[in-house]
Structure 1
Amino acid sequence: MDNNLAIIVLAAGQGTRMKSATPKLLHPLAGAPIVAHVLATARTLDAAHVVAVVRHERDLVAAAVEAELPGTVIVDQDEIPGTGRAVEQAIAALPADFEGEVLVLNGDVPLLNADTLAAFLEQHRADAAQASVLSAIYDDPSGYGRVVRDITGRFDRIVEQKDASDDERRIAEINAGIYAFGAAALRDQLANLTTENAQGEKYLTDVIGLLRAAGSEVEAVPVSEPWLVAGINDRAQLSETAARLNALIVRGWQLNGVTIEDPTTTWIDLTVRIEPDVTIRPGTQLKGATVIETGAVVGPDTTLVDCEIGRNAEVKRTDGTLAVVGAGASVGPFSYLRPGTVLGADGKIGAFVETKNAKIGHGSKVPHLSYVGDATIGEQSNIGAGSIFANYDGVTKHHSEIGSHVRTGSHGVFVAPVRIGDGVYTGAGTVIRKDVPAGALAVNVAPQRNIEGWVQTNRPGTAAAQAAEAADGASGPASHDAAAD
């Protein structure tokens, strides 16, 4: 732990430009709220103290902060607006004898990583500065405060866009709003802030001016890439940041031995884990706590949420949530794996199959056009096409059990609760309403009845009737010829 470091996370803003009932900092980004990314960076820096300042939707934001970084001190910003006031209240929550460095982060700047901040702090300490400003070089700096340097290149001041001269507006170096302060100097100057300005706020940037006026050392440290300090204020910026972060995640997995055929259409949450020699095909989304083991092939056009995919399994054109696919198993295309699905090793869930709370044993197959809900299927069984597990009686869900080495006919219905023993066969179109003992053949006997002439009588003049009449006419003479021969 760095006992000389305290981190303040500013998380009080409303984020009105998001136009959302959800607080800005809680919008998801790569599987976690925006603010969680900032807190993860704070955790990596291992500061002795972390303080989060909250206000808008206080309880929701505070709960997200506590979930991501337990032990964070929560401070409520009062009615006095401004970042200066937020930091003033956060400083008051630190131990009175803390004399180390204070790093101020914005909760809506999620891509700023720990390595960049560690280098920033190292430079701040090496310069023996009372304040350091993280800056960036932007091609279009419009709207940002500019970092003004003197003729020797040293930091002079920060000037806001509205107050800048024409020459100052041409400056490309902007204030990123990330600061490092000496705790004692920061406390002293925060006491001098006022709200005597057009917005009636206490500005943290005014502390920089006060320190410079007092002759204190202040430095500006540019980041290597401007996107590192990009904030999120609206949905467009959220989308841009998500794309940037996803590109970094995808590249990281590629460098770790994962084949990702189309990075631009592949989306992977930070919480996903992928082993080497996995292949991810285009149009795939991997979310939550999904884990994919070596040799598996996932995609194309597949979404997996909190799923486990075993070694050498294949999952294509599938939507799955809270499902487990065993080693060497096959899923898809057009399969829907709902929570509680467990497919055993070398098993198969095929085309247009939906499963829910279904345990399908080693080598067993549900090849196509079926629904398996609330069921257990043993090993090496085959469920015929178009089978339905009727698990709901209108009030309660019931469970069905299919044994091992079972062969069910196409278009079967299993009315739960029912148990099918090992080695059972069922006939096509059979409705199973009671248990079937091991080794039995289950069929519904219903003789087929043909009512000749029904179409011509009941559907006269239709195309079907005309075709039937033509067929009758064609068959009559042919029969007579055969008899004559």
Structure 2
Amino acid sequence: MGIKAIILAAGKGTRMKSKLPKVLHKVCGKEMVNHVIDASLEAGAKSNIVVIGHGGEAVGNCLPEGVETVVQEEQLGTGHAVMMANNYIDDSDTIVILCGDTPLIEGETIKALIEFHRKYGFAVSVLSALMENPKGYGRIIRGESKELVGIVEEKDASEEQRLVCEINSGMYCFEGKALREALLEIRSDNSQGEYYLTDAVEIIRGKGMTAGAFAGATSEQIMGVNNRLQLSEAECLMKKRINEFHMLNGVTLIDPLATYIESGALIGSDTIIYPGSLIKGNSVIGEGCIVGPGCTIDSSRLDDGCEIQNSVIVKSAVGSGSKVGPFAYLRPNSNIGRNVKIGDFVEVKNSNIGDNSKASHLSYIGDADVGEDVNIGCGTVFVNYDGKKKSRAKVGDRSFIGCNTNLIAPVELGENSYIAAGSTITDNVPGDSFAIARQRQTTKEGYLKGDKWEKKD
């Protein structure tokens, strides 16, 4: 028996007041629907089918490879949405129904629901949660032996039923055959004219099959996001969950409330992250690093023992023991070697810098291949753009580039070359050579004497 997940993600999300489909709004850097897919895969689902509708093309384009989509042209209720995926429902499958706007659901909870469902042999099991204030939610109604009797919406509930604190999450586990048969009998003869998946529970029980309710979720996990306020609440809860995970795995967050780590990041033990830092995308940070304060690490790799201060690193890699900042900027495709120093107000773009090299301050290194043990003096500019195309420069190992040097690409400096301060280099420099490219100094003695240079009151 395989496990398939059908994820409902067709709603417009009018209350979001956004042109972006609701399920594509991000929580800690990842679209809500992709959080749900991750949880489904963690729970053991072999395939995921996402029901799309409003903004369907955009939703489909953001889904991981291997996820199937079906289209719900008209949004006629949850039962109707599941009907759209009917061709994917096999009699022998266990079908999990999830909601694309519940990003906090966890894989362990879905897995526990499936195990509960199979252990007791239910045809349908509902994931439920206990809430102190269940106002607005459908209530789980149990029989004398605690089996699920039905789900009653609050507007239809009696006074006694409204006192029930166990609520429906909107997530279910069905046996494929039972679900297929129930979908054929769901009707839309209600005030909304919609097909409700909750009706499937009553239909299945009416056929003599059993139903269960698994009170294994927290109110946090089943929280749906319908507006920007709820989106911010989900962001805070997910941020807390992520930060706690890293701290329990040996990462020091000086101020967790002021540290933002997206869900895809990996961080090694004994790394310290200072306040105001953002770790974004699928960044990988090694052990024993120091990050911050005020850093942005976006989809980048930091090897063990790096120290980054007040800097921005985007889609780049920094080797072990290297120091970056303060106020440095590593733009995409920058690869920094081991024990390198990228100092204050240094910008690196699409460049490779070898081990033990340093650019201590106020330089631009763009489209360059810099060797090992190279010194790049203050104010050095790799001039890579002629107004039409970008060109690369190459600097050999153990070279020394003096302050205020311009390297006009394409140009190559051989190993052990020495460039005098203030030079503008337009030609290749052979190894073991000294290059100076500046006008000879002229000094006019006594030039400043005379009436025209005297200070006026």
- TM superposition score normalised by structure 2: 0.91
**Match for residue 82 of structure 1?**
77
Instruction: Specify which of 361, 364, 389 is matched with residue 368 of structure 1.
Output: 361
User: What's the offset of the Cα at 1:153?
Assistant: 5.4
Instruction: Specify which of 273, 280, 300 is matched with residue 287 of structure 1.
Output: 280
**Match for residue 482 of structure 1?**
none
Question: Which deviates more, 427-436 or 144-153?
Answer: 144-153
Instruction: Specify which of 286, 289, 300 is matched with residue 296 of structure 1.
Output: 289
What are the within-5 Å matches in structure 2 for residues 244-263 of structure 1?
A: 244-263=237-256
Q: Do the aligned residues in 2 keep the contact of 1:49 with 1:94 (CA within 8 Å)?
A: no
Instruction: Specify which of 424, 448, 454 is matched with residue 452 of structure 1.
Output: 448
User: What's the offset of the Cα at 1:355?
Assistant: 0.8
Judged with a 3 Å threshold, the aligned counterparts in structure 2 of structure 1 residues 295 and 191 are, in CA distance, closer, same or farther, namely same
Instruction: Specify which of 14, 34, 40 is matched with residue 36 of structure 1.
Output: 34
User: What's the offset of the Cα at 1:303?
Assistant: 0.9
User: Does 1:94 pair with 2:89?
Assistant: yes
Give the Cα separation in 2 of the matches to 1:196 and 1:19: 30
Instruction: Specify which of 421, 426, 430 is matched with residue 419 of structure 2.
Output: 426
Give the Cα separation in 1 of the matches to 2:319 and 2:180: 59
**Match for residue 433 of structure 2?**
439
**Match for residue 221 of structure 1?**
214
Give the Cα separation in 1 of the matches to 2:209 and 2:56: 36
**Structure 2 letter corresponding to 1:422:** E
**Match for residue 304 of structure 2?**
311
Question: What's the secondary structure of 1:223's corresponding residue?
Answer: strand
**Match for residue 269 of structure 2?**
276
What are the within-5 Å matches in structure 2 for residues 53-452 of structure 1?
A: 53-65=51-63, 67-68=64-65, 70=66, 72-79=67-74, 81-95=76-90, 98-149=91-142, 154-213=147-206, 216-437=209-430, 438-444=432-438, 445-449=440-444, 451-452=447-448
Question: What's the secondary structure of 2:376's corresponding residue?
Answer: coil
- CA shift digits 1:162-204 (9 cap, x unpaired): 3334554443322110112233332333222222222111111
Give the Cα separation in 2 of the matches to 1:142 and 1:390: 65
Instruction: Select the structure of larger CA radius of gyration.
Output: 1
Question: What's the secondary structure of 2:232's corresponding residue?
Answer: helix
Give the Cα separation in 2 of the matches to 1:446 and 1:420: 25
**Match for residue 24 of structure 1?**
22
- CA shift digits 1:350-401 (9 cap, x unpaired): 0011110122222111111111111222222211212222211111112222
Q: Do the aligned residues in 1 keep the contact of 2:33 with 2:100 (CA within 8 Å)?
A: yes
Give the Cα separation in 1 of the matches to 2:259 and 2:208: 52
- CA shift digits 1:119-173 (9 cap, x unpaired): 2122223333332221112233232222234577554432223333455444332
- CA shift digits 1:64-112 (9 cap, x unpaired): 33x25x1x443222436111111223234323xx234322111122222
Q: Do the aligned residues in 2 keep the contact of 1:333 with 1:351 (CA within 8 Å)?
A: yes
Give the Cα separation in 2 of the matches to 1:361 and 1:92: 56
Give the Cα separation in 2 of the matches to 1:47 and 1:373: 46
Give the Cα separation in 2 of the matches to 1:5 and 1:378: 53
Question: Which deviates more, 43-52 or 113-122?
Answer: 43-52
Q: Do the aligned residues in 2 keep the contact of 1:436 with 1:442 (CA within 8 Å)?
A: no
- CA shift digits 1:198-227 (9 cap, x unpaired): 211111112223344555433222125211
Alignment RMSD: 2.5
User: What's the offset of the Cα at 1:332?
Assistant: 0.3
Q: Do the aligned residues in 1 keep the contact of 2:44 with 2:111 (CA within 8 Å)?
A: no
- CA shift digits 1:260-299 (9 cap, x unpaired): 2222222223322222222222222222232222222222
**Match for residue 43 of structure 2?**
45
**Which has the larger helix fraction?**
1
Give the Cα separation in 2 of the matches to 1:129 and 1:75: 27
Question: Which deviates more, 366-375 or 77-86?
Answer: 77-86
**Structure 2 letter corresponding to 1:244:** L
**Structure 1 letter corresponding to 2:21:** P
**Structure 2 letter corresponding to 1:219:** G
**Match for residue 475 of structure 1?**
none
Q: Do the aligned residues in 2 keep the contact of 1:12 with 1:55 (CA within 8 Å)?
A: yes
Judged with a 3 Å threshold, the aligned counterparts in structure 2 of structure 1 residues 152 and 453 are, in CA distance, closer, same or farther, namely farther
Which ranges in structure 2 are unaligned for 5 or more consecutive residues?
none
Q: Do the aligned residues in 2 keep the contact of 1:145 with 1:159 (CA within 8 Å)?
A: yes
Judged with a 3 Å threshold, the aligned counterparts in structure 2 of structure 1 residues 91 and 370 are, in CA distance, closer, same or farther, namely same
User: What's the offset of the Cα at 1:449?
Assistant: 4.5
Identity %: 37
**Match for residue 476 of structure 1?**
none
Q: How many residues align?
A: 454
- CA shift digits 1:304-344 (9 cap, x unpaired): 11212122121111101121211211100000000121222
Q: Do the aligned residues in 2 keep the contact of 1:75 with 1:93 (CA within 8 Å)?
A: no
Q: Do the aligned residues in 2 keep the contact of 1:377 with 1:404 (CA within 8 Å)?
A: yes
Give the Cα separation in 2 of the matches to 1:129 and 1:337: 56
Q: Do the aligned residues in 2 keep the contact of 1:10 with 1:104 (CA within 8 Å)?
A: yes
**Structure 2 letter corresponding to 1:163:** D
- TM superposition score normalised by structure 1: 0.86
Question: What's the secondary structure of 1:226's corresponding residue?
Answer: coil
Which ranges in structure 1 are unaligned for 5 or more consecutive residues?
467-485
Judged with a 3 Å threshold, the aligned counterparts in structure 2 of structure 1 residues 393 and 4 are, in CA distance, closer, same or farther, namely closer
